[in-house]
């Protein structure tokens, strides 16, 4: 492995992440379970709750099939992460991968685009938590609940990655228990009262909008893949895991597979309980956002509705915790490489507290600003995904650059290092193409700003 900078613990030009001798680097304390906890927290086991109605309407009722295809589609990206984390086991994830696979410039752009995602997805999660808590306790403004969620989870992240993982495990366990309660309750209702739709309809469509249409399913997949954003955060902890980078690669793949099983299972069950047809949901867009809750409420009663809502409120805050932790590692890695202010590369007892605080401030401002606006959620959601998708595109290119171009003599495989990244890139391009116009504009502007910063940094280094 390559040498380390005496002041930042940064790897020099090669790959690898040695343990720094001066104690300024990140501390290795995470196991496989901790990695999976961070990944599932960020994704959220019941992520389909908010988009179920939209996907059901768009796919003509084949919502479980949508998530099955989306899991396979995202598997290409997960596989590329698993390939790169083995050769570049560094904090910063796609920033580090693009840096060694494509060069320093593309590496910066990959990190810059991922930054847009890692800083704003937690803001969306915090806002969701604030809205849910405000619905439970209306006397407290939602922006206050949002700020409280930011402060609590930031304190946990500053406490240390291991401590945050332990608390996160308890929250994740709670979410899984609630999901299991939903599954059991749904099965009981289906056994006693039967299904409201055909048993195969979640996989073949409910027929209310005509015959099965593959184009409708594919269109819905472009939205469903966004439910998986967050599993990639696992790779950000590569310098803090014990037992080598292979454990990180396994955690990335396992987390995606487990999330896929959970998503397919819950959407299959709730589709069978849905009192409205997909055609009715398509005709009444206002009912799509609450379709999951409405189905649960009408089938099992308000108690399960309330239980799921509370679980989502708490789970959203801890999804933000995982996102904030990943954002801190990205800022730390880019600062260590002198692409961001040097202060962000400082660590305290193995924790990048300065970078975490910076990420927390940006997220707090965005989340509270959105919480004080009626259309705040729409503004945030419309822009958060494009950064991650662009970073995924550069990730796939990095696999090709590293294995097929720069190190072709070291075990190159045409299907692992060329075919899979190419297919993954095509899927990402298709999802970006289907993104909203505002998201594309924001992504293009953020990319342009990044290019200006890159040019300015190059000019400063030459002068």
Q: What is the 3-state secondary structure (H, E, C) of 198-264?
A: CCCHHHHCCCECECCCHHHHHHHHHHHHHHHCCHHHHHHHHHHECCCHHHHHHHHHHHHHHHHHHHH
- Provide the β-strand partners of residue 210: 208
CA-to-CA distance for 47 and 224, rounded, in angstroms?
10
Query: For position 326, what pLDDT does the model report?
Result: 84
As beta bridge partners, residue 30 has 241
For 41, residues 6+ apart whose C-beta sits below 8 A from its C-beta are: 168, 171, 172, 315, 318, 319, 321, 322
d(CA 247, CA 290): 38
Cross-strand pairs, 348: 351
Low-confidence residues in the chain, pLDDT < 70: 1-25, 375, 378-379, 381-383, 459-463
The mean of the pLDDT values for the chain is 83
- Provide the pLDDT for residue 333: 85
Check residue 258 and give its pLDDT. 92
Query: What pLDDT is attached to residue 459?
Result: 64
Give the model's pLDDT for residue 289.
75
State the virtual CA torsion across 344, 346, 352, 354 in degrees, nearest 10.
-50
Q: What was the pLDDT predicted at 337?
A: 84
For 161-203, what is each residue's pLDDT tens digit?
Answer: 777 888 888 888 888 888 888 889 889 989 988 888 899 999 9
Q: Which residues of 78-102 are buried (b: 16+ CB within 10 A; e: fewer)?
A: bbbbbbbbebbbbbbbbbbbbbbbb
């Amino acid at each position: 492995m390559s040498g380390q900078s005496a002041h930042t613990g940064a790897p020099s030009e090669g790959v690898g992440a040695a343990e720094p001798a001066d104690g300024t680097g990140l501390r290795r304390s995470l196991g496989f379970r901790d990695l999976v906890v961070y990944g599932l927290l960020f994704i959220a086991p019941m992520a389909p709750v908010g988009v179920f109605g939209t996907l059901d309407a768009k796919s003509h009722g084949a919502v479980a099939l949508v998530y099955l295809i989306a899991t396979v589609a995202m598997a290409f990206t997960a596989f590329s992460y698993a390939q790169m984390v083995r050769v570049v086991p560094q904090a910063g994830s796609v920033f580090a991968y693009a840096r060694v696979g494509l060069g320093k410039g593309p590496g910066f752009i990959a990190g810059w685009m991922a930054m847009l995602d890692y800083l704003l997805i937690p803001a969306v999660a915090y806002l969701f938590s604030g809205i849910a808590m405000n619905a439970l306790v209306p006397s407290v403004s939602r922006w206050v609940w949002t700020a409280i969620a930011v402060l609590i989870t930031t304190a946990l992240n500053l406490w240390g990655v291991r401590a945050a993982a332990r608390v996160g495990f308890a929250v994740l366990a709670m979410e899984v228990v609630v999901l299991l309660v939903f599954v059991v309750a749904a099965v009981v209702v289906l056994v006693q009262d039967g299904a409201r739709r055909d048993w195969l309809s979640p996989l073949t469509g409910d027929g209310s909008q005509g015959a099965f249409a593959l184009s409708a399913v594919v269109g819905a997949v472009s939205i469903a893949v966004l439910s998986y954003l967050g599993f990639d955060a696992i790779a950000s902890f590569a310098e803090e895991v014990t037992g080598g980078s292979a454990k990180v690669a396994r955690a990335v793949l396992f987390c995606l597979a487990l999330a896929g099983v959970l998503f397919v299972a819950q959407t299959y069950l709730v589709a069978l309980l849905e009192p409205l047809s997909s055609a009715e949901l398509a005709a009444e867009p206002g009912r799509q956002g609450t379709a999951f809750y409405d189905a649960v409420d009408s089938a099992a009663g308000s108690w399960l509705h309330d239980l799921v809502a509370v679980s989502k409120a708490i789970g959203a805050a801890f999804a933000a915790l995982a996102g904030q932790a990943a954002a801190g590692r990205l800022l730390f890695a880019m600062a260590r490489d002198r692409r961001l202010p040097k202060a962000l590369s400082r660590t305290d007892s193995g924790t990048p507290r300065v970078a975490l605080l910076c990420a927390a401030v940006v997220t707090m401002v965005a989340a509270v600003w959105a919480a004080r606006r009626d259309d705040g959620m729409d503004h945030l959601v419309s822009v958060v995904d494009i950064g991650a998708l662009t970073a995924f595109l550069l990730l796939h290119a990095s696999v090709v650059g590293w294995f097929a171009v720069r190190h072709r003599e070291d075990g190159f495989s045409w299907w692992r290092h060329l075919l899979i990244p190419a297919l993954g890139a095509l899927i990402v391009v298709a999802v970006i193409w289907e993104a909203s116009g505002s998201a594309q504009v924001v992504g293009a502007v953020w990319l342009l700003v990044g290019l200006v910063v890159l040019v300015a940094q190059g000019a400063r280094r030459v002068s």
